Amino acid sequence: MRPNWLRKLYGLRNSGINPSGFHPSQIPFYIILAPLVAFMLLPIIFIFSTAFKPAEELFAYPPRFLVVNPTLKNFTDLFTLMSTSDVPVSRYLFNSIIVTLASMAASLIVSSTAAYALSKKRFKLKQMLFTINTLALMFVPIAVTIPRFLIIAKLGLIDNFLVHILPALAMPVGLFLLKQFMDSVPNEMIEAAQIDGANDLQIYWRIILPMIKPALATIAILTFQATWNNADTSAMYINIESLKTFAFYLSTLSATTGGNTVAGQGMAAAAALIMFLPNLIIFIFLQSQVMSTMSHSGLKG
């Protein structure tokens, strides 16, 4: 026999918010949304098109949006240059994979537990802490570059692999989104769980996390994009080549072609597509959860 809070949880999780099929009343929405979708697809089409452009089309005037004579030369040149690297490219790729996975896992754990405390627990300075986190959303990364460098240097993390991961633990946008999402989780359900003998860890693991999966998926995508595409950390804090990431390596390709700007731009376009594909794939897999996050800000009791 399930406790009352578990029965409520399963009822909420199994109630869908999207229609099961097409209905004629949706036609006006498709008429409005179809042009918007086509417009938003243009950057993706451009990235794919540019990666396959030969040199004469990359520098054609007026510029062409779509490739006319696609070629794989940009990719063959890119892989040829990779094979001449002093440090194996697999090392850069391995570093990026480890950094991205570790940052995603750590960010989700830290953000969700902190959001749970700020949303459902009572303690002093709770509101002040959330206000400080909200104020942190105002600062763009470039504005905190110098303070961040001083802190990292003080902690002795220069040329340390952890410098890729530790700054990703504090994501103000992640804490803000998860806290706002948790605020809509019914307090009555948590109280019922406590009456049934559930402790904070059980409530967090069995009630909170299943109910905020859409928000967790959104934070996972944001963390993945910020970490996978980050070349600045390797450039500013890492001097040991074997500790640098794949994003940094690809960002330096156009500068390592012996001054050949044309070849460098072709390889840069191919590298941009390679860096973009993982972002596209993870969004495709998690897009349903992201849409749920955007369609409602929480759960109704």
Model confidence pLDDT, tens digit, residues 238-291 = 999 899 999 998 888 766 554 455 667 888 888 889 999 998 888 888 777 666
If you average pLDDT over every residue of the chain, what do you get?
A: 83
Give the residue among 208, 160, 205, 202 at the shortest CA–CA distance from 184. Answer: 208
Asked if pLDDT for residue 184 goes beyond 50, the answer is yes
- Burial of 123: CB neighbours in 10 Å, binned 0-12, 13-18, 19+: exposed
Asked if pLDDT for residue 8 goes beyond 60, the answer is no
Q: How far apart are CA 45 and CA 24, in angstroms?
A: 30
- Amino acid in the structure at residue 4: N
Global pTM? 0.80
Q: For the structural domain made of 48-295, what CATH number should be given?
A: 1.10.3720.10
**pLDDT for the residue 283:** 84
